[in-house]
Structures are given as C-alpha cells and as structure tokens.
Amino acid sequence: MKIRLSKIEDVSEIMMIIDDAKNYLASLNIDQWQNGYPNTTQVENDINNKESYVVVNDKNTVMATSMFTTNPEPTYKVIDGNWLVDETKTYGVIHRMAIKKEFRKFGLATFLFDEFHQQLKKNNIQSLKVDTHEDNLGMQSLLKKLGYSYCGIIYTNYKAKRLAFEKVIS
C-alpha cells in the first residue's frame, strides 16, 4: 500500500468514498458533511492544487483519501482557545479524510497521518492542525491516540462549530 497525489481520474472513486462517509456519519446522527460538502468541485480543486492524496493498494484500488496542505487555513485564525504553535508560523492542515467502507479498521487513517507527519518533518514544519465535528468521536479518539492536543473551538466558513486539535511534530 502506498500514498500518492490524487489524479483527476481518481475523482469518481474519491467521491464514492466521500459519499459513503457522508452516509456513515448520517447513520451515527452526526451532521458533519451533510450540507453538500465536500463535493466534486472541492476535490478537483484539491487535486489541481496538489493537496489531494489517496492510499492505493497493490491493485491500484483507491482505499482512502485526504486533503493535506501547508497553506494557512483561514478559519484557524480565530480560535476559542489556543493553538500550541503560533498561528503565524507555517503548519500542516488535514481536511476531507475518508476511508473506503471495506478498508475501515485497517489503520489507513493512521497511515495517512504518519505520512503527513513525515512530510512536515522533512520540511522543518513543526505542527499539524485538524478540526472535527464535536460528535465525531471516532476521529477525536484517533487524534488523541496519535498524540494530538485539544486546542479549542473554531468555526468553519459556513459557521459550523468544530473542535480544533494540534500536534507538535518533533
């Protein structure tokens, strides 16, 4: 299994994974990703910006997807709490992470986080920031397991409340 940048040809597979994740979140009564986000246009923008990644197996099947960037996240400028690393310094950001239904519980989210941590270390960037829905206990549990600290509350550009986490990469 390997991680690579997504290609435009991956969009339909990525969207199937995201749509399945939307259904999964809805089945848990979590209203995250229930308002038309993420959508095909967003994924295509991520690909064009070289910020979309997929995990593929040896048969080149897309197993998971995530957006990862070191561009500043505008909604992270205002936090009800405190980031660990000053907001003015370069940091990594993860959004839109989803695992294909049949590959959940295979450690793919951890695999993605580990890869992004390595990319940040290689570029001497000292932190990774992420946010999630307050009811998304699965993601919160993963973040805590991976050593992330809860930093406070941020609001998305569509005014949705999100719990913000950060890890200092050493």
Q: How confident is the model at residue 158 (pLDDT cuts 50, 70, 90)?
A: confident
What mean pLDDT comes out for the span 4-16? 97
Question: Tens of pLDDT along 38-77?
Answer: 999 999 999 999 999 999 999 989 999 999 999 999 999 9
Q: Which two tokens stand for residue 119?
A: 């990319």
Which of 30-39, 61-70, 74-83, 131-140 is predicted least confidently? 30-39
Homologous superfamily of domain range 2-168: Gcn5-related N-acetyltransferase (GNAT) (3.40.630.30)
pTM for the predicted model, two decimal places: 0.92
The pair phi, psi for residue 88, each rounded to 5°, is -80, -15
Q: How far apart are CA 28 and CA 24, in angstroms?
A: 7
What mean pLDDT comes out for the span 158-167? 93
Q: What is the pLDDT of residue 32?
A: 87
Amino acid at 16: M
Q: How far apart are CA 3 and CA 6, in angstroms?
A: 9
